[in-house]
Amino acid sequence: MPFTPLNLELETRTEQGLLRRRRLLDSPQDVHLLADGKPYLSFCSNDYLGLASDPRLTAAMQRGAAEWGVGSGASHLVSGHFSPHHELEVALAKFVGKPEALLFSTGYLANLGVVQALVGRDDGVFADKLNHASLNDAMLLSRAEVQRYRHNDVEHLALLLEKSTSKRKLIITDTVFSMDGDLAPLPELLALCEQHDAWLLVDDAHGFGVVGDQGRGALSNFGLSSPRIIYMATLGKAAGISGAFVAAEPVVIDTLVNQARSYIYTTASSPALSVALLESLNIIRVEGWRRERLQELIQILRAGLTELPWKLMSSATPIQPLLVGGNQDAVELSDGLRARGILVPAIRPPTVPQGTARLRISLSAAHTEADVNQLIEALHELAC
């Protein structure tokens, strides 16, 4: 049979506890949902501010669809760039403190587009070893020389930069690391950029809306402003909808419009999404209680899990990884929670290094103290 090798590979993944399967949701995204026909308390979502099913965003989407339709019809460069797209780009740039912004359909496409457009042969990319897969794929597709530095190790990065003879240098990093929940040392990275005439691409997918003044993201959190920084954030996590944007100097944005293949050759997102995202951006800005609620829940969770055989990794963000170790152990712990009506995903290699399988607990402002305490009690039961 022609597919025998694929069957064998899937069998191997099953034996190693690495086989992935999808759940079917039968309700809107929320902390309480129906999955595969059963009710669950969910700690799976990146909907950090609880906006994914907010009725104000639903109403904004309906208004946008009524006025602009549901499809864009073409790429931004052909005939798919609508007034709501432009208005959102202007608002996002202002919100994160950059001169201009450019919308992408997804964060994955944004990262692919930026790296491919800015560097190529004879150039160098310097990447944190725990960066998101989209950044890893982007640097490989760019054909630049790739060097990976140890996670958040500024001294290791400095050594690599000192030895580099690349024409252009681009440092790329997550801001909040999606599987560890820790933050990149952005001030130190920017200092190295100044020293070595490099650019800094920051992926703020898990920081935008959550950290910084009014949720303005990692640059605000560290008080950073520099033309060397190219800022990317997604709009399907804290913003509750979908899409992504890159904010940078006008020369960078113009370069992306002309050279980023994942922008040029992709149909623009629905203008109705931009109408809803403008509403979301306003909520993020004015409803600071959502971020305050998150911090309260983080403290409750961390205090409640101190006596477990598995240890929470250091994180002050809504991403709270519980380090288990073995792949099968992590799967069994996740299964035990699911049997108690709680969804927490088991994260295994290659997403994380071998021997560091974990439960990735994601908190949302929509959670209550009772929700978090229910998770704490269930984990203590499973530890016995």
Q: What is the pLDDT of residues 231-289, one digit of tens each?
A: 999 999 999 999 999 999 999 999 999 999 999 999 999 999 999 999 999 999 999 99
Report which residue type is found at 336: G
The residue-averaged pLDDT of 68-73 equals: 97
User: Domain 19-49+288-383 belongs to what architecture?
Assistant: Alpha-Beta Complex (3.90)
**Full-model pTM:** 0.95
Hunting for tokens 């931004």 — which residue is that?
76
Side chain identity at residue 81, one-letter code: H
User: Tokens at residue 175, please?
Assistant: 């801001």
Average pLDDT, the chain: 96
Answer whether residue 223 shows pLDDT above 90: yes
Is 14 marked as binding a ligand? no
Domain pair 19-49+288-383 / 55-286, same fold: no
What is the CATH T-level fold of the domain 55-286, as seen in this structure? Aspartate Aminotransferase; domain 2 (3.40.640)
Has 81 been labeled as part of a binding site? no
- Flag whether 108 is marked binding: yes
Residues 130-182 have pLDDT tens digits of 999 999 999 999 999 999 999 999 999 999 999 999 999 999 999 999 999 99
Helix (H, G, I), strand (E, B) or coil at 184: coil
**Strand ranges inside the chain, DSSP E:** 32-35, 38-42, 100-104, 124-128, 145-149, 169-174, 199-203, 229-234, 244-248, 311-312, 319-325, 342-343, 346-347, 357-362
The verdict on whether residue 107 carries a ligand-binding annotation is yes
Domain ranges of the chain: 19-49+288-383, 55-286
pLDDT at 1: 67
- The response to whether 178 counts as a known ligand-binding position is yes
